[in-house]
Each structure stands twice: as C-alpha cells, then as structure tokens.
Amino acid sequence: MIISIYQPSHLASLIPTMQSCIECVSKNLDGQEDITFSDLALGFATDVIGQAAFGTDFGLSKISASSNDDDIDKIATDTSAEAKASSEFIRMHVHATTSLKMDLSGSLSIIIGQLLPFLQEPFRQVLKRIPWTADHEIDHVNLALGGQMDKIVAERAAAMERDQAAPHAQQRKDFLSVVLAARESNKSWRELLTPDYISALTYEHLLAGSATTAFTLSTVLYLVSKHPEVEEKLLREIDGFGPHDHAPTAEDLQTKFPYLDQACMPFFDIGRREGIDEILLFIAIDSKGNGTWVWLAPGVLAKDPKNFPEPEVFRPERFDPNGEEEKRRHPYAFIPFGIGPRACIGQKFSIQEIKLSVIHLYRNYVFRHSPSMESPLEFQYSIVCNFKYGVKLRVIKRHTA
C-alpha cells in the first residue's frame, strides 16, 4: 500500500508539483544577493512533501528570502483553508527540525541514556516538568505537534467522507488519504492503523522528506559553488539538455544527466566531505532468532581510502559507473539510503526532487559563498543533522540565450 505511492508512475506524476515549488523559490531569488539558502530549501522541501504526503499546500515556497517566521501565517491565510489550519503545525515542525538539539547542549536525559540507558526514562519524566530544560522543550513541542497532527488527520478523514458523498469526486492520491482509505477497507487495517499510528506515520514522512532533502540540496549548492571545475561540467550538461522552459521528464532525469548523478551522489553521504561521523544502529537476526546490536558508521566507511581514494576530496567522477574506482568499490561501502527491506522507501522521490531542483536553479543562477558564511561549516545535531548557522550563498543571475 505505502510502497505503491513511490512507484515510477506516481513519482512521474509529482514532477509538476515539484517544478511548481522550485519555480516559486527561484522567483524569490530574483533581486536577492546574499541569502540563507538552507532556509529556502527547507520551505521548498516541506511544500513538496506536504503535497505528496498531506495533499496540502503549505505555501512556504512563496515566502521570499528576506521574510521572517511570521510570514508562515500570512501565506497560510493567502492559500487554502487546509494550509491555514496547518500554519501552527508547520511553525512547530520547522522549529523541531532546526532548533531541538541532540548534542551535549541538548536533552540531559538523552545524554544520561547514552551512558546509563536504564536511567534515561526516569530522568526524562523529571526533567520534562522543569521549565527551560531541553527535555521540557522537547516534550512541549512533541505534544503540540502530536495535537496538530491529530487535528490534520481528523480533518482529512472528514473531508474524505464528504468526498464520498459528492458525485464525481476526484480520488485523493496523497499519502495520508491513501492510508485513511486503506484503514476503512477492512477490519484488520482498522485495528492496525489507529489514529495515533496514522499521525505518527504521516509526520515521519514529512520529517524524513523535508529536513533531509533540504540539507542535501543545500550541500549540493555549497560544494558545487566551491569547485568551479565541477560547476563548469554541470552547467555544460544542463545547458545541453534543451530550452530552459522545457522541464525534464522522469525518464530524462534518469537518463540525460549522468554527471548530475555523479555530482549529487556524494551529498547523500555528506559525512566524508564535512566530517560528520553519523552512526546507524540496527539489530541483526541470525537463523535461530537471536538478535545482536550492530553499529554502522557511514562516515567512517566513507573515509576508507581503500574504497574512496583521497576521501576528503570532492570528486564526482569517483561515482562514474564506468570508472575503475566505482567498479572496484565494495557494494556496501556506500549505502546512503540503507539496504535490504528496511531501506528508505523514499529514495527515488528524494533523488528526483533534488535533481529537478538543481537543474532549474542552475539554468537561471550560479552561486558563490557569501562572505558572511563561516568556513568550515558548523553543524547542529538535532532530530536530523542541520547547519548551525545555515548555508549562506551569493546569488548571481545567469544571462543565457
């Protein structure tokens, strides 16, 4: 049921939505010089996954680069009623993905849990009652997000009931509507897909499909703008595709941009470029059903010179499928989306969105590092990895024929 949403035919149907959102972002770059691109990228990615997962236009792509947080409410008022009802939810979502920290300045209960796991929950129960602590803030945001998410799910369920009563109503194809429809299809689904479970599942899609995509897209521009030889090859391929008003199809994205594939690939595993030592934890089950904790550090794997010669160097050609380095590399040395049945189901969705964005942006602009951006970049470890001060870029309008 869920995987069908990410099939090629459905992904192809999302290209106009993605294109529309990135065009809004592009318009907001006109007349700008220095921008915090990572903020724009988060708004764009949230809008795309908002329409794919919620069927709702949050309108964040329409906010200009110089706007502030209060414009979320203004945009929600200017667009649909559902976007207006979701404005506070989006405000809290942005806060959760950019401000809640998981490092040593974050939750004390989490830090204690890393050392003494059995003490984490007792400490959390105490600390969440103490104002100004990170545990209190996290608990407050979680409760507020949960309440807003439950409200959105309830409103969508009511809207679908009205649709059923209306003649010739168009079937909704967003993730939330598909899950709600499946819930009503039989008793077993109703028992599994409780309202709380649906809320959590839908928000997980928003979180996974916005913050991570925004981080990746921002890093693409950050590193490409730092390497003129990569930018030159990328522009040559993009300009050679065709007229700038001709949007690529899903098939074009897969077959017509081989260097873009290579240039974007490292950003799905950005750890090796900027020193992020991400650790994944999972359980391996043997044939007898015994479980063993396994720690996997992609950042360490990605710095292994046996698989990645000169691992600190940004060299897209290392991912050329016809190159010797790619052929020699162990197949599990590079697994940015995981492997096996638990691999990220949104992999193709994310790649399509990022490639379409890069193509449109570089058809119209090139970017340089802003003098106000720190070097090297500093990171903040929250629910997902983020930029501590944002990716600040200088926008240069291209004048192409």
Per the annotation, binding residues for heme are 344
Q: Cβ contacts of residue 193 below 8 Å, gap of 6+?
A: 179, 182, 183
Pick out the residues of the known binding site.
344
* Spatial distance between the Cα atoms of 132 and 112, rounded to a whole number of angstroms: 18
Question: What are the residues facing 285 on neighbouring strands?
Answer: 291
Q: Is the dihedral of CA 252, 253, 255, 256 positive or negative?
A: positive
**Over the range 78-99, which residues count as b (16 or more CB within 10 Å of their CB) and which as e?**
ebeebbeebbbbbbbbbebbbe
Is there a cis peptide before residue 341, judged by omega within 30 degrees of 0? no
Q: Cβ contacts of residue 154 below 8 Å, gap of 6+?
A: 195
Q: Is 58 in contact with 83 (CB distance < 8 Å)?
A: yes
Helix, strand or coil, per DSSP, at residue 339: coil
* Spatial distance between the Cα atoms of 126 and 114, rounded to a whole number of angstroms: 17
Helix, strand or coil, per DSSP, at residue 384: coil
Q: Is 179 in contact with 1 (CB distance < 8 Å)?
A: yes
Q: Look at residues 367, 359, 358 and name the one whose alpha carbon lies nearest to residue 226.
A: 367
DSSP characters over 78-98: HS-HHHHHTHHHHHHHHHHHH
Q: Give the CB-side neighbour count of residue 316, counting CA atoms within 13 A.
A: 21
* Spatial distance between the Cα atoms of 380 and 102, rounded to a whole number of angstroms: 8
Six-digit token string for 15 = 């290209």
* Spatial distance between the Cα atoms of 372 and 31, rounded to a whole number of angstroms: 18
- The neighbour count for residue 300, using CB atoms within 10 Å, is 14
Helix, strand or coil, per DSSP, at residue 126: helix
